[in-house]
Amino acid sequence: MSWIAIGVLVVSGSAAPPPANAQFDYQTGGEYEPPADVTVVARGWFLGEPLDGGYSICYVNAFQTQDDEAGVDRPDERSNWPADLLLWELGDDPNWGGEYLVDISSDTSRAAALAHVEPMIDVCAAKGFDAVEFDNLDSWTRFDGTDLEGDVPFGSPEAVAYAELLVDYTHSLGLAAGQKNTPQLGADVSLHVIEFDFAIAEECGFYDECDAYTDVFGADLIVIEYTAEGFERACATVGDTVSVVLRDLDVTPAGSEAYVYSSC
């Protein structure tokens, strides 16, 4: 493994969420100069850099692997995770090829998973990001509706316990922590057990569940939609108070043929 973790200085104090209803761009598929007036961005921890003069969210896929990528050697790739922490028998995510679930079914496996992810969070802090979003919090649902439904060896209690570890470590570095999707947790768990500072919701407009997030996080919510229908609904229901953007599903950089960006 050729990557090098950057040393960080542990910072004390409260971690502020992104400014509410700010102009936002989701750049986890590749970094580029954002549209005018964007003051909040989310970028990947490995290659992404914070937005100059803005608020920056660091994307970390903590509950599943990234797919292996030719010519890249990064610790969140499938081949670089400790083999005994991956649920190989399930195969890859039905919707995202190459992503395998991390086993968080026990105290021991959660501690080991945290130890693997901590250096990624360290990089976020060292680069100067303001917050971290942890993707695939709801990985226990990933095989629902398939022949493997019921075979995932953990559920929401184990995901919550692992999220607590991630958020505690993130807060210890002075960074805010964002909940990714998973509206079923509710305020008692999201705010008072895990202690997330804000949420990022994908397609809550499309699935008509944005209110489930605002009931918990109020204006501390960022919404990403991937369809015109979902975007219109999110703008109509919560667009006056929270950040809402339309992106292409692969969140490609500006200049690509697939690139889509709009905001309300």
In a domain, 72, yes or no: yes
Q: Check: CB of residue 54 under 8 Å from CB of residue 130.
A: no
In a domain, 1, yes or no: no
Cα–Cα distance, 38 to 49 (Å, whole number): 15
pLDDT for the residue 15:
84
Q: Please, what sign has the CA dihedral across residues 141, 146, 152, 155? A: positive
In a domain, 15, yes or no: no
pTM of the model: 0.93
User: Rounded to whole angstroms, what are the CA distances from 202 to 55, 116, 207?
Assistant: 19, 26, 9
Does position 8 have pLDDT exceeding 70, yes or no?
A: no
| Upper half-sphere CA count for residue 163 (Cβ side, 13 Å) | 30
In a domain, 178, yes or no: yes
Which residues does 76 contact at the CB level (< 8 Å), separation at least 6? Answer: 46, 60, 61, 65, 66, 117, 120
Q: Check: CB of residue 215 under 8 Å from CB of residue 237.
A: no
In a domain, 203, yes or no: yes
Instruction: Domain count for the chain, please give it.
Output: 1
pLDDT in tens, 169-203: 999 999 999 999 999 999 999 999 999 999 999 99
Identify residue 207 by its one-letter amino acid code. Y
Identify residue 85 by its one-letter amino acid code. L
Does position 13 have pLDDT exceeding 80, yes or no?
A: no
Exposed / middle / buried, residue 89 (Cβ in 10 Å: 0-12, 13-18, 19+): exposed
In a domain, 3, yes or no: no
Taking Cα atoms as reference points, which of 63, 59, 64, 90 lies closest to residue 78? 64
Q: Give the helix ranges, DSSP H, for 78-185.
A: 107-127, 156-172
pLDDT in tens, 197-240: 999 999 999 999 999 999 999 999 999 999 999 999 999 999 99
List of E strands, the chain: 24-27, 40-44, 55-60, 131-134, 176-180, 198-202, 221-225, 243-247, 261-263
In a domain, 2, yes or no: no
Sheet holding 243-247, edge to edge: 24-27, 40-44, 55-60, 131-134, 176-180, 198-202, 221-225, 243-247, 261-263
> Buried b / exposed e across 238-259, counting CB within 10 Å, b at 16+?
bbeebbbbbbeeebbeeeeeeb
pLDDT in tens, 78-114: 999 999 999 999 999 999 999 999 999 999 999 999 9
- Domain span including residue 76: 24-263
In a domain, 6, yes or no: no
Question: What CATH number is attached to the domain comprising 231?
Answer: 3.20.20.70
Q: What's the token pair of residue 220?
A: 């501390």
Overall average pLDDT of the 43-54 stretch: 96
